[in-house]
Structure 1
Amino acid sequence: MSRPTQAKRPSSSTSSGEGAWAAKMERLRRRARPQNRLRVCDDDELRQRYDDAEQAARRARFVAEANPGDELAARQATDADSGRDQALSALDAASEFLTFRALPRPVLEDLLAEHPPTEQQAEQQAIFNADTFPAALVSAASVDGMSQEEAEELLNGWSAPDANSLWDAAWQVQQESRVELGKG
């Protein structure tokens, strides 16, 4: 004669473990995808003024940290930081910013599949069509709503270094990892 089996109740440790996992999974789902921001500023004088102010602030902080009791060095570091902040504000006001966000993996893979390399490009081990994919990616990754036609216009109309910076801003964010393997 066999005994009827009873449904096994989850122990409280199993329930709390499941709850902890559910909370962790929810946090993982809510993670924001990485973003890159490209500054576009044609005012060389403002860019140079900011670079100079940043270097001066770095030097002043170094001197202040090397001389902890020196009030003059501390005040000079504070003044240099303030000068850097003012130069940055002026640079920001004269700049346009383009923001790019990492695409979900399946979306990026679909985009790559839509722009396969030509035979000649494939022979050189390209993973996408260099003539069509860059504008498609820039557009797809744009947080600002840039169309593919607008991306193509900028990539073709800007100087090579500026166009490369635009491409890099959209491509590099696709390669950014914020996880690491480690020993637990």
Structure 2
Amino acid sequence: MPDIKDVLAKAKPREHTVRICLAGDVAAEVDRLEAELASVSNWQAESLVDKNPGIEIAERIKEARERMQAAEVEFTFKALGAKAWSDLVAQHPGKKDEEAWDVETLAPALVAASAVDPAMTQAEVDELFDALNFGQRQQLIDAAWQVNGEATSIPFSLHASAILASRTDGK
């Protein structure tokens, strides 16, 4: 049987990281370029010197996607301890008797309380949420809920397994 001191020494709060692209303007540019590329998809050369207009558009899409990737920000969340979770829930009681908490107020507060990199105050979360769309806000909220509410299990990686299974080590 394991000694509880050994178990406690191994116990670390769960962490979870999400990446969010903050360049909404560049995302719109990619959408426009994709539509432009689709409009020339039936292009056919009329002579050997004709150059496919899709090539230049595809290069612009690649460059814009690289800018989008550069505009991604990692947000790391760490699970709250039992007392901190209980205190936070108590600060956001449900509006009806059957509700354990008020989801509308608890969710952004949970983001602020669980965010460790970058750390954020409630005011900063509110300001960030004003700049993000619903899907981006939901990504942050989901990450905060996940790190605090889901059990930690060993994930299966199909991609990593496929790579490792393809290795022959020269045999």
TM-score normalized with structure 2 length: 0.55
Q: Secondary structure at the match of 2:18?
A: strand
Alignment partner, residue 152 of structure 1: 126
Query: Displacement, 1:30?
Result: 3.3
Q: For structure 2, which runs of at least 5 residues remain unmatched after alignment?
A: 31-65, 155-171
Given that 2:14 and 2:147 are in contact with CA atoms closer than 8 Å, whether structure 1 keeps it comes out as yes
Could you report, residue by residue, the CA deviation over 1:22-78 in whole angstroms, capped at 9, with x for unpaired residues?
Answer: 3x5333343221111110123559x9xxxxxxxxxxxxxxxxxxxxxxxxxxxxxxx
Q: 1:93 to 1:25 in 2, by over 3 A?
A: farther
- Is the 1:34–1:102 contact (alpha carbons within 8 Å) kept by the matching residues of 2? yes
- 2:18 aligns to what? 38
Is 2:82 the counterpart of 1:109? Answer: no
Q: What's the secondary structure of 2:116's corresponding residue?
A: coil
The one of 146, 149, 165 aligned to 1:172: 146
Structure number with higher helix proportion? 1
2:116 paired with 1:143: yes
The alpha-carbon distance between structure 1 residues 179 and 166, as it changes in their structure 2 partners (threshold 3 A), is: closer
1:176 to 1:163, Cα distance in 2 relative to 1, 3 A: same
Residue 104 of structure 2 is aligned with which of 100, 122, 131? Answer: 131
Q: Which residue of 2 aligns with 1:98?
A: 75
Report the 3-state secondary structure (helix = DSSP H, G, I; strand = E; otherwise coil) of the residue aligned with 1:177: coil
Q: TM-score, normalised by structure 1?
A: 0.52
CA contact (8 A) 1:156 1:163 kept: no
Q: What amino acid maps onto 2:77 in structure 1?
A: F
Cα distance, 1:91 vs. partner? 7.2
User: Could you say what the CA RMSD is over the residues aligned between the two structures, in angstroms?
Assistant: 3.1
Q: Using the alignment, how far apart are the partners of 2:110 and 2:140 within structure 1? A: 11
1:95 shift after superposition = 1.9
Deviates more, 1:92-101 or 1:36-45: 36-45
- Three-state SS of the structure 1 residue aligned to 2:77 is strand
State whether residues 34 and 176 of structure 1, in contact with CA within 8 Å, keep that contact through their aligned partners in structure 2.
no
Higher-Rg structure is: 1
Amino acid at match of 2:139: S
